[in-house]
Amino acid sequence: MPVLNPANGDVVASVRTYSETEIDEIIRKADAARHDWAAVTAKERSAILRAWFDLIILHREELAEICTRECGKPLAEARTEVDYAASFVEWYSEEAKRAYGETIPSFAVGKSIVVTKEPVGTCAAITPWNFPLAMITRKSAPALAAGCAIVIKPSEATPLSALALEALAVKAGIPTDVLRIVPSDDAPMVGKLFCTHPTVRKISFTGSTAIGKLLLEQAGSTVKRVSMELGGNAPFIVFGDADVDAAVDGAMIAKFRNAGQSCIGANRMLVQRDVHDLFVEKFVARVSALKVANGLEEGAQIGPLITDTAFKKVESLTDLALSQGASLAWGGSHHNAGAQFYTPTVLTGVAPDMDIARQEIFGPVASITSFQSEDEALRLANDTRYGLASYFYTRDIGRVARVMRELEYGMVAVNEGLLGTEVAPFGGIKESGLGREGSRHGMDEYLELKYGLIGGLGT
């Protein structure tokens, strides 16, 4: 299967794909190997994961370059992603030693209760192309730390980052059958196999809500544990009392990181009427200065969209918004850096019912809507079936507490434009997903509670 560079269409490399029979065999081997892996002491598993972390950091530059070549993001962002990916391995190397159970005061004389945490078993995962390194480690590191085996299908657009991480894992001492990457150009086949395979105990998915729903249905047939990190429609609210310069800084990151191809990307900017014009003026000044170029070029800030289909979606959503009455403050067209590059764009006067405000834009297009009151901002922000990330800027401490409480989202960033970190639970509510990744909670997704009652202990 050829892997294409979205910046210029060049073939970066070709990778081997796996058939249904081969993946079935790999799952069975993983299941056979997981018992020995679970029997390794937590301290030893921790040391092996730590060795994997060290190797990722040692190969930071090569991994970043692979990431940029296959997914297009600027090299500076790819380096940050390597660090982010490595942080999950480091964190879970530490958590591996802390999968504590509990003892519960007994309900009767002569009986005792213990609760242990056991690995879920053999897990399967499907990951997207937009964070091709971090999405692999955010799932595999807690799974391995918990004593599970895991088989992962990366996006067909970005298998190289995943394979490079797998090679480093083997070098670190993780048994080959316990962590397997299986590239495929037949995602529906792999998804169905993972979800219906009797040996797979858990499926973890990051991707669109539509595919997440399909996998949930399929996984129901064998009652698997599921974790779903799905789409978002993040509001980015700027209140009239905000520090407008700080809000512009945050908006640049929340909107334009990875050319807007992020599940937590600011999809709807809601700006209070009294600071609207000032915010737009300062924001456009920054957006118009962004350097659009091949991610390998020095100083590149906006790379290409991942595919021609993704480019067309961004183009048509923007054209539709303009035809529905939005105004163009900047950009609004193809960029001459290459076929899949779109000029960073700012739209104002976006109405809440326009398609661009209802769907994930997944491109470098900021859509701005003005509002009058806090109640209106909250109503607009919560009026979506998604509930992943949300952002707001204010200097009023009472409003911080109120708005944080009222936003129906799994994650709320106040006066910040970036919230991903390995130490906090990442995930969404409503149709944005089930479960959390990162933090100690991310480890629980790969552990089962076992309640043990011991009787006959005498008085």
208 binds ligand NAP per the rule CB under 6 A: yes
Nearer to ligand NAP, 362 or 393 (CB): 362
Q: From the CB of 294, what's the least distance to ligand NAP, in Å?
A: 21
Q: Count Cα atoms within 13 angstroms, Cβ side, for 122.
A: 23
Q: Which of 72, 119, 121, 231 binds ligand NAP (CB under 6 A)?
A: 231
Q: Which of 6, 72, 142, 191 binds ligand NAP (CB under 6 A)?
A: 191
The single residue of 67, 148, 195, 263 carrying the catalytic annotation is: 263
Is 67 an active-site residue? no
The radius of gyration of the chain's CA atoms, rounded to the nearest angstrom, is: 23
The answer to whether 326 and 348 have CB atoms below 8 angstroms apart is yes
Token pair in block for residue 221 = 């047939």
Q: From the CB of 302, what's the least distance to ligand NAP, in Å?
A: 18
Count of residues of this chain found to bind ligand NAP when the rule CB under 6 A is applied = 27
Q: Closest Cα to residue 185, out of 152, 159, 215?
A: 159
The single residue of 81, 95, 156, 229 carrying the catalytic annotation is: 229
Q: From the CB of 88, what's the least distance to ligand NAP, in Å?
A: 13
294 binds ligand NAP per the rule CB under 6 A: no
Q: From the CB of 310, what's the least distance to ligand NAP, in Å?
A: 8
SS3 230: coil
Cα dihedral value 52, 54, 57, 59, nearest 10: -70
Residue of closest CB approach to ligand NAP: 191
Q: Which of 133, 152, 230, 357 binds ligand NAP (CB under 6 A)?
A: 230
Interacting span for ligand NAP (CB under 6 A) from 19-27, 186-194, 325-333, 368-376: 186-194
**216: amino acid identity, one letter:** L
124 binds ligand NAP per the rule CB under 6 A: no
128 binds ligand NAP per the rule CB under 6 A: yes
Interacting span for ligand NAP (CB under 6 A) from 15-23, 67-75, 225-233, 377-385: 225-233
SS3 402: helix
**204: amino acid identity, one letter:** S
Q: How many of the other CB atoms lie within 10 Å of CB of 106?
A: 14
What sign does the CA torsion over 171, 195, 435, 132 have? positive
Strand 102-104 and strand 112-119: the pairing is antiparallel
- The residues pairing with 205 across neighbouring beta strands, listed in sequence order, are 126, 228
The answer to whether 236 and 254 have CB atoms below 8 angstroms apart is yes
The answer to whether 51 and 172 have CB atoms below 8 angstroms apart is yes
The answer to whether 202 and 146 have CB atoms below 8 angstroms apart is no
214 binds ligand NAP per the rule CB under 6 A: yes
Q: Which helix (H) or strand (E) holds 206?
A: strand 202-206
SS3 127: coil
Nearer to ligand NAP, 112 or 307 (CB): 307
Contact code string over 139-178 relative to ligand NAP, x by CB under 6 A: --------------x-xxx---------------------
Q: From the CB of 218, what's the least distance to ligand NAP, in Å?
A: 8
Is 123 an active-site residue? no
Nearer to ligand NAP, 214 or 296 (CB): 214
- Applying CB under 6 A, which residues contact ligand NAP? 126-131, 153, 155-157, 187-188, 191, 206-208, 211, 214, 229-232, 263, 360, 388, 428, 433
Catalytic residues: 229, 263
